[in-house]
């Protein structure tokens, strides 16, 4: 016989990374009386920012949300504004240029090293009396009840909650335990990520350049650096990863060209396989998915975390409105209906971009370059792209 009853929470968030911690903070800002727990697999650790720190692209609309939740004030000094985005197809005539000035915005978006946001969220959440963190911990069993979800952790501790939110990332184990399934489309590509050093200023310019090797994205960082996302075919990734730093830097320079300037050093590299992975359901009984646990899209347009930010905003709005029953059927149905359209548009758009710009057909090359040229010549054709980049169109 158990000596103690499971600890009861309003919400338990499986996953204490960027999405899960941001959700916890936003919820407690909106509803300070909530009792919230995070179950995180990784142990507590002190975030430290280095040359190699990974980055996220934040659309202008995501920055608006961070400002609304009282987070941007502590992040802005470490973020690098994107004032211009250049899109081009190497070896072809098509190109397009977006600028914040054209749309009367201070910036199209910002680039932020994740350690800055992780450290801020850790400090902020530590001040919230309604917040409990279990780390390192994993959920080993999820047992639905009529009014609650009953959770068992791997170490035997038990929790109950009115709503379980799963924000563990694309390979979430809790998602499967909760009965969700996913549909996946592998792209036969890997993303190689690293930071590049420059001898010159990048002028707050981001680049999306399509090459014969694969798309190359460069996002401006503080201290004369770019955050690189380089898409390569599966059969070429090991060869590229095995290059020494000097040879890799030269390879990127040759593949990209000199339009973004000279690259004179490369930091630590990492790579991961790319696919479109979507959960077949957004919600189940007293469970909601969020972030990469719900949708993993190609990084070609930098939309992944911005999509998660809109998930968070919608879930906070629905929890705030559901004063009678957090996690009830009506609340979860509203969350699902509100998110399906946006997720569908972004996943379809990124998938189409991958198909269009990873295809070596001359017909496809002509079509995409005519499209880029048309956007250059006609602002009304370019505006939807700019609004999507800023996160103001869904």
Question: What is the secondary structure of 143-194 as a DSSP string?
Answer: EE-SS-EEEEETTS-EEEEEEEEE-S-TT-HHHHHTT--EEEEEEEEEEEEE
Confidence (pLDDT) at 393: 63
Helix (H, G, I), strand (E, B) or coil at 96: strand
* Cα of 94 vs its chain's centroid, Å: 28
Q: Residues 40-93: pLDDT tens digits? A: 998 876 566 777 789 999 999 999 999 999 999 999 999 999 999 888 776 554
- Number of residues written out for the chain: 394
pLDDT score for 372: 42
> Is 7-53+116-183+277-351's fold the same as 57-110+187-274+373-390's?
no
Looking at residue 308, the DSSP 8-state letter turns out to be H
Q: Give me the pLDDT at residue 364, please.
A: 44
Parallel/antiparallel/unpaired status of strands 84-89 and 205-210: parallel
| Residues with Cβ within 8 Å of residue 10, at least 6 apart in sequence | 34, 35, 36, 161, 162, 163, 326
Range list of β-strands (E), the chain:
7-14, 36-39, 55-59, 80-82, 84-89, 95-99, 109-113, 131-134, 139-144, 149-153, 158-166, 182-197, 205-210, 215-221, 225-233, 265-266, 270-279, 283-284, 287-289, 295-296
Q: How many helices, marked H, and strands, marked E, lie in the chain?
A: 10, 20
> b or e along 228-266 (b: 16 or more beta carbons within 10 Å of the residue's beta carbon)?
bbbbbeeeebeebeeeeeeebbebbbebbeeebbebeeb
Q: What is the pTM of this model?
A: 0.91
Tokens of 186: 């592998």
CA distance 311 to 166: 12
Rounded Cα distance between 36 and 206, Å, is: 38
The tokens describing 244, both together, are: 């020494």
Report the candidate in 346, 348, 368 with the shortest Cα–Cα distance to residue 358: 368
Residue 70 has a pLDDT of: 97
Q: Specify which residues 215 forms β-bridges with.
A: 210
Pairing mode, if any, of strands 95-99 and 84-89? antiparallel
Distance CA 19, CA 178 (A): 19
| pLDDT beneath 70: ranges in the chain | 1-3, 45-48, 90-94, 213, 356-390, 392-394
- Bond before 211 cis per omega within 30 degrees: no
- The number of beta carbons lying within 10 Å of the beta carbon of residue 9 is 22
Domain boundaries, the chain: 7-53+116-183+277-351, 57-110+187-274+373-390
What is the CATH T-level fold of the domain 7-53+116-183+277-351, as seen in this structure? Answer: FAD/NAD(P)-binding domain (3.50.50)
**Of 75, 71, 70, 95, residue with least CA distance to 85:** 95
Supply the pLDDT for residue 82: 95
- The total of other beta-carbon atoms located within 10 Å of residue 165's CB is 31
The CATH code of domain 57-110+187-274+373-390 reads: 3.30.9.10
d(CA 224, CA 17): 27
Burial class of residue 267, CB neighbours in 10 A (0-12, 13-18, 19+): middle
């Amino acid at each position: 016989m158990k000596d103690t009853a499971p600890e009861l929470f309003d919400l338990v968030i499986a996953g204490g990374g960027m999405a899960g911690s941001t959700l916890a903070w936003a919820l407690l800002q909106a509803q300070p009386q909530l009792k919230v727990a995070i179950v995180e697999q990784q142990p507590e650790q002190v975030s430290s920012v280095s040359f190699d720190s990974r980055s996220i692209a934040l659309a202008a609309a995501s920055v608006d949300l961070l400002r609304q939740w009282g987070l941007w004030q502590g992040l802005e000094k470490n973020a690098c504004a994107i004032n211009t985005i250049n899109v081009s197809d190497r070896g072809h005539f098509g190109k397009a240029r977006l600028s914040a000035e054209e749309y009367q915005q201070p910036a199209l978006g910002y680039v932020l090293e994740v350690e800055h946001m992780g450290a801020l969220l850790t400090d902020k959440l530590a001040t919230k009396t309604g917040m409990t963190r279990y780390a390192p911990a994993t959920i080993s069993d999820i047992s639905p009840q009529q009014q609650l979800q009953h959770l068992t952790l791997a170490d035997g501790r038990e929790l109950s909650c009115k709503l379980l939110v799963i924000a563990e990332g694309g390979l979430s184990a809790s998602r499967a335990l909760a009965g969700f399934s996913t549909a996946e489309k592998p792209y036969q590509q890997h993303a190689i990520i690293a930071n590049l050093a420059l001898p010159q200023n990048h002028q707050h310019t981001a680049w999306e350049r399509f090459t014969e090797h694969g798309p190359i994205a460069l996002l401006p960082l503080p201290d004369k650096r770019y955050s690189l996302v380089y898409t390569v075919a599966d059969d070429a990734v090991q060869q590229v990863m095995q290059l020494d730093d000097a040879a890799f830097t030269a390879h990127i320079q040759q593949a990209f060209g000199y339009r973004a300037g000279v690259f004179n050093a490369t930091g630590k590299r990492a790579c991961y396989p790319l696919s479109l992975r979507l959960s077949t359901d957004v919600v189940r009984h007293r469970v909601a998915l969020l972030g990469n646990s719900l949708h993993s899209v190609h990084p070609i347009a930098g939309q992944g975390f911005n999509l998660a930010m809109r998930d968070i905003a919608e879930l906070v709005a629905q929890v705030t409105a559901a004063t009678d029953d957090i996690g009830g059927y009506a609340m979860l149905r509203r969350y699902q209906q509100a998110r399906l359209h946006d997720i569908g548009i972004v996943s379809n758009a990124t998938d189409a971009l991958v198909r269009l710009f990873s295809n070596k057909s001359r017909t496809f090359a002509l079509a995409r370059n005519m499209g880029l040229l048309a956007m250059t010549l006609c602002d009304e054709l370019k505006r939807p792209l700019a609004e999507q980049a800023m996160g103001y169109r869904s």
